[in-house]
Every structure is written in structure tokens, then in C-alpha cells.
Amino acid sequence: MIVYKIFNEDEAGYVMSGKLLLLFTYLVLNVLNVGDGGTALPLLGAFFVLSGISLLLDFFRCRTAVHGHFFVFLLFVVWLTYRILVDLNDLAHLKKLTVATTSGILLFFLLGTFARQALDKINTIGKLFWLKFLFAALFLFYVWVFISFNNRLLSSGEIFYMDGVNGDYQRPGNFMICLFLMCSFVLLNLVSRLKANKKKSLLVYLAAYFSMTILNLVSSQAMGANTATACILAIYMMSFVLALLYVDEDVRDQYLRGVLSIPFSVCIFKGLFKYSLVVVSFSALAAFALVQATSFDLQKTRIFGFGSGVNSSITSRMEILREEGAEQIGNALLFGNLDVARLVSDDPSRTLHSFFPNIIAELGLIGFSIVALLLILIVRHIFVFMRCSAREESGFLLVSIGLWLFFILGFLFFYANLAVGKEWSVMWFFLGFAVNVFPSRSSFKSWEDERVPMKLKVV
């Protein structure tokens, strides 16, 4: 009875916000602990316990369904497990690729969907207070990381780099991206609810978001995480452009009158182009002004090769793909082989750093087909989400979120095939986050029937 009262709708704002704060704190502490391994596992455990209890209560009250793409994802996990046991017979590697906190595919997918579920429940409450609270909390977390990293910079000043990273930048860098994805999601929810007379609020949100982006970019380069820098910058650009589009009264009015088709609309494309120019121009001028004011030397950062002008990480990954890609993919085309890098080059570290080529090489066309089906189902859900939303304010909010999800997924898919392998935690986190695996039954029915929901639902 006590558990039921804690998780009822009246207390949902407190529970969901508290749960998200646990996740935020866990991710931030692991970013701060760069170079010293993982930490704060009890916080992650508490997040999953609260998520599990909430999910079970929803099932018992018959309020939750399960989207079909979750079973496709589980099929992929089963196939991955089978290939690891057959090719490597290594339980430690199985743990690493399924539930470990660095590259656990199952763990990060569930992490993403439970985070999305919490944010959706906060949205259904309809109180902006909780969104503002989370946005402010993230701002304070980013300031904390920035100050901490600034105190750890090498004293020589020859390069912009922290002491004690020890090459352990990828995991905290991925955590920074996951945090920034949730931060951008909160921003879009806040902005898409604004009315025309709330321009001051819009300026405050966008100024805070721009500041958080700068703090993230500087912090990611302080530990040498180029992937985090590139992804955060791209997410910022897309989120900022869409935020401006959503407060455009012409766009909102046309949508509410039923004359605007999203995403395929000339008005939308014109708006995206116009606001992209605005954001690029503003960001370039602001960045130039900041660099001049602080005398910051960009050439000393890792993304510019610490002064060499060459990004060695990208160069080496492209070299492996060019020299061994075809041979690794063709080694066991249908079933794949997790040990293919060692078999081909005698060096197990020379895996393909490209999402789909890596999946084909190590999991074969079978693994590729499962992941391709998963992506198709998720994209379909996002499109149905946008096409079937009500022509009212709540529907505009849902469409706004759907458009953002579509663009972010497109970018992450592009980047994953450019520079990272199948175990990239950010990709799996977002695949879980993009579509809530455990929606409310009412919204699930409206999805399946492709009917227009008349009020804000969890998707």
C-alpha cells in the first residue's frame, strides 16, 4: 500500500524527477571520475529499482503495453549472446557487451527507455515546474564538471588537456552525450509549450542552453573526447534550430489550423533552412567572440591534433576500414564471427569502427537484418507519432518531439557508421530513448489504430 501511494499519479512528479536526478548524478560522477574507472553503481542500481517498481505497478494496473520493436531488440541480444559463446566462449566479454556500464547494449537500451518513460510521465503531469527543475539541475551539474576539469588542466599550457585521463575518455565522453541528449529533450519540451508573449522565457532557456553547450564542448576537449565534442555540437545545432522553429507563430498557427503536414512540408523546410542560417551565424560569432575574449588557442585541443592539425583517431579508423573492411566482412558473411579481427589481422583490436560494417563482420547478415528491422520499426513509430497527433497544443508538443527524435536519430546513425562500432553506448541509449518501449495502453492503442489522440499521451 505504501509503495502504491508513493508511485501514484499525485506523487509522480517527485518520483520521476528524483529518479532522473539519480541517473544524472550517476552519469556526472562518472564523467568527473575520468581516468579512475567507474563509480557510484548504487545510484544506477537505485534508478533501475525505481524504474522496475514503477513498471510493475503499471502492469498490475493494466496501464502499460509493450511495443513490438522491444522483442526485435531482445532477439538481437540473443543472437549477440549466441555468437559470443560460439566464437569466443568468453563470459566476461558477454557481460561487457550486454550489461557492463561501458558498452552494455542491453543496459543502455533499458537506461534510455526508462529515462524516456520518466520524462514522458513528467510531461503528462502538465506542470512546467519539474521540467524547469531538471533543466536547472543539469545546468548546475555542467558548471560542476567544468570547474572540476578546469582545476585538473595540465599546468604547462602547451596543450589543452587534463592530468590523469590515462586514455580513459571514451566512457565519460559517451556519458556526456547521453546527458546532453536528455538536456536537449527537456529544452524542446519547455520551448514548444511557450506562447507568443513569452519571449523573455525563450531567451533565458536558449541562453542557458548555449552556455551549457559551451561548458560541455570545453569539458569534452579537456579530456580529449572528440566523439563527445562532435556529437554535442551537432545535437546543439539541431536542437537550437528546432527550438526557434517551434516558437515561430506561423508554423504553430498553420499546424493548429490543419494546413501543415509534418515533417514533409515546404513551410517546415523553409523554416529549417532560415533558422539554420540564424543559428550557424549566431554560434560562429559567439564562438569567435569567446575565443577572442579568453585568448583560447583552438590548436592546442585534441580535435585539432594538439597543434599538429591532424585528427589521428579518425585517420586510423578510416585506415582500418579501407585496408581490412572487405576482408573482415567477407570472412563469415551470413553468420559473422566476433573474433574476425584476430583471424584477419592477428590483432583483435583492429575491429571496424563503423556501425553497420562492424555488425556485418562480427554478427553477419543475420545480425544486420535484425538491427535494420529494429531501426525501421523505430523510425516508423516516430513517423506515426508525428502524423497521428491531435491538431491542438498537446499535439504540437508531440510533433515537436517527434521531429527532434527523427533528426537526432539520423545524425547518430550517420556518425555511428562513420566512426564507431556496434557497441557504442550512445546509439543504444538513444534507440531505447527514441520510442518509449512501455507506453500507456491508451496511447499504444492509438498508435496501432493510427488514430488521432485527443490529449497528451505517453509514447
Cα–Cα distance between 87 and 304 in angstroms, integer? 39
Cα–Cα distance between 228 and 34 in angstroms, integer? 14
- Interval 260-272: pLDDT, tens: 777 777 888 888 9
420: left (phi over 0), alpha (psi -120 to 50) or beta: beta
- The gap between the terminal CA atoms of the chain, to the nearest Å, is 28
Query: Could you tell me what percentage of the chain is helix, strand and coil, using 3-state DSSP and rounding each to the nearest 5?
Result: 75, 0, 25
Which residue numbers in the chain have pLDDT < 50? 1-4, 444, 446-459
pLDDT attached to residue 454: 37
Amino acid at 254: Q
Report residue 49: phi and psi, to 5°: -65, -50
pLDDT attached to residue 148: 95
Q: State yes or no: cis peptide before 348, omega within 30 of 0.
A: no
| 64, 72, 105, 441 from 176: Cα distances, Å | 30, 28, 17, 33
Place of cell 519571449: 199
- Interval 442-458: pLDDT, tens: 554 544 444 444 344 33
- Of 54, 46, 43, 61, nearest to 6 by C-alpha is 54
Q: What is the dihedral sign for C-alpha 198, 399, 118, 175? A: negative
- Are the C-beta atoms of 432 and 247 separated by less than 8 Å? no
**DSSP label at residue 262:** S
Alpha helical stretches, state H, 88-127:
91-98, 105-125
Number of Cβ atoms within 10 Å of the Cβ of 346:
8
Average pLDDT, the chain: 87
37 grid coordinates: 574507472
Single pTM value for the model: 0.92
Angle between helices 226-246 and 249-256 (to 10 degrees): 70
Cα–Cα distance between 385 and 459 in angstroms, integer? 8
pLDDT attached to residue 65: 81
- Residue 182 exposed, middle or buried by CB count within 10 Å (0-12, 13-18, 19+): buried
- Residue 305 exposed, middle or buried by CB count within 10 Å (0-12, 13-18, 19+): middle
Report residue 237: phi and psi, to 5°: -60, -45
Cα–Cα distance between 433 and 119 in angstroms, integer? 10
pLDDT attached to residue 392: 66
Largest CA distance in the chain: 65
Cα–Cα distance between 98 and 77 in angstroms, integer? 7
Q: What is the dihedral sign for C-alpha 454, 64, 14, 431? A: negative
Place of cell 569502427: 353
